[in-house]
A and B are shown apart, each in its own frame.
Chain A
């Protein structure tokens, strides 16, 4: 009887295992294959050697992505905290309000920022009508980071909020009973308990920020070519799949390293609480 159900569970899992092998593992293998071959299909390290030219681009992408993620965290954390304190009715309304923009196409939202930040856009029109000098907003790194923060902020708010919501309130009360003041409780209970949310928020903002190309193309100028742009160019116009694949390969590895470092934080803190 038990055997029968375990056989069934094996059978039920088979289609998915095949699918995952074919469309998750094999494609990644293809990336590696293209990264290490030339156009004749022969093994080469030339593509990887080529990458050294793009090390600045990698550094810039990771830096801007990190900046955007940290800013997201600074904005999202207080908001998630405020939300978690509210009544259930208000909470669900606010969750909906945060999710609503996310469901609108991100290309359109980013394009809209372009019209806001342009030299003759809304912000500059407002500034000049108040009698100030217009600012250079578009085509800057600031604009690119703003675009990232804007697009991915909800991905930071929601996980933190969810974790805070699940926090056992009795822990907070216990800390208060033990004589902790508000700040102490916040520092020693609320923050450590929210770390898993921060880590998953960090992942969900950092990964798309580092690899974006649309945001930097629309809001950035000549000085903000990111690694995503380079990869996109290799596959869409330069017709150099091998270089594109090796760039993707390195990007993937770098991101996994960053995430592994990030996960150290949550592991350690798990130890601290208990």
Chain B
């Protein structure tokens, strides 16, 4: 009896101590010394609930609560983010890269180990997203969103149903196709279509993928990142490869859009919050990460950005609009074949970047430019000679 009473008490104490940080985290730990400091957050575009159209302004909420100024800037690709970080020109306190970039950053010793006692809300992250290959010991990352890449198409312009990446090479849609404007995601589509591994280290595989992308180049309207929203919503393009969550945002504006996970397979990604090693405000960064994992904030973000969430409380919340959405959370039978990016070795990375540069200038057919320039050059030379002769003649005349 007494034993039972005690176990009840212990349970109650445990429950209370668990619930306490969740309910009153700010009260428990004193963060007042961080007041007036600045926190530099570097995130993808359209990747936070920003207060537009009556949504919750997460950053403003954080500022209000802790008196820490959030200096929020955007990048448009993992590579763009890495570049800014690596060049050393700018300091950031919180960044949200994808898994392969996290692996690369850890490899290069650019991330700080997190003090998880400052991030109690980490407990709400589903176990299956913890300790993944890039951070097996759970030292550096707190998962923010997960998702898959898919094919978005406009049903008024494309004869559906679509189930293959092959449509991105269909000449019928020339000039109406949008492709990723970053090497990893773009190559991934060709590699999936070819049935290769996206983490291949064989240059032959990459060459084959490049050939395929070169074939696609003349059909593409442009290489885009977040520009895809306006172009797809307005019907400027018919087909785009992009992240599944963003399709849901576009669909809100243009219900003619449809989505599929191509049968050849897609990329599966986890974007995580991390703190770069050269942070100057680590405590505030951890506070921010914890804040982002607070239930109400996580729900607001999940509703706004429409990506699948790794947060257990969000999935159960009644305020979560996308609960059980079949695109974000397909059941076993609907689940596409997926591949996850690993960090490529240095040589392969360099090789991929080189191929990517080659692809970008591939489309420049420039016969006219050569002809035009030579003609203008010839004209200039003729003019100068004419001038010279005239001058000589005049000199002779005088």
Whether B369 contacts A236 by the Cβ 8 Å rule is: no
A60 touches B220 (CB 8 A): no
The reply to whether B218 and A222 form a contact with Cβ atoms under 8 Å apart is: yes
Give B164-193 interface residues, CB cut-off 8 Å to A. 175, 182
A118–B234 touching, CB < 8 Å: yes
Task: Tell whether B312 is near chain A: CB-to-CB under 8 Å.
Answer: no
- The total of chain B residues at the interface (CB under 8 A) is 41
Q: In the complex where A64-B369, A66-B376, A139-B221 touch, is A239 in contact with B86 (Cβ < 8 A)?
A: yes
Contact of B357 among A230, A241, A271 (CB under 8 A): A230
* Complex Cα–Cα for A124 and B383 (A): 42
Closest to A221 in B: B222
Q: Does A261 contact B (CB under 8 A)?
A: yes
B361 close to chain A: CB less than 8 A: yes
What is the interface of chain A mostly: helix, strand, loop, or mixed? helix
Residue A59 CB within 8 A of the other chain: yes
Complexed CA–CA distance, A54 and B361 (Å) = 8
Which residues on the B side are within 8 Å of A60 (C-beta)? Answer: 364, 366, 369
In the complex with contacts A222-B217, A222-B218, A63-B373 CB distance below 8 A: yes
Number of residues on chain A facing chain B (CB within 8 A): 39
- Starting from the known contacts A62-B369, A120-B236, A236-B83, 19 additional A-B residue pairs (CB-CB under 8 Å) come to A53-B357, A53-B361, A54-B361, A57-B361, A60-B366, A60-B369, A64-B369, A119-B236, A120-B234, A222-B218, A222-B220, A222-B221, A223-B363, A225-B361, A236-B84, A237-B79, A239-B82, A241-B87, A264-B384
- Smallest CB-CB A-B distances: 3 pairs: A63-B369, A222-B363, A223-B363
Residues on B lying within 8 angstroms of A by beta carbon are 77, 79-80, 82-84, 86-87, 175, 182, 217-218, 220-223, 234-236, 353, 356-358, 360-361, 363-366, 368-370, 372-373, 376, 380, 383-384, 387, 390-391
Partner-B contacts on A (CB < 8 A): 53-54, 56-57, 59-60, 62-64, 66-67, 118-120, 136, 138-139, 220-225, 229-230, 233, 235-241, 261, 264-265, 268, 271-272
What are 25 contact pairs spanning A and B, CB under 8 A? Answer: A53-B358, A56-B366, A63-B366, A63-B370, A64-B369, A67-B372, A119-B235, A120-B234, A139-B221, A139-B222, A221-B220, A222-B217, A222-B222, A225-B361, A229-B360, A230-B357, A230-B361, A233-B360, A235-B87, A237-B80, A239-B83, A239-B86, A261-B380, A268-B384, A271-B391
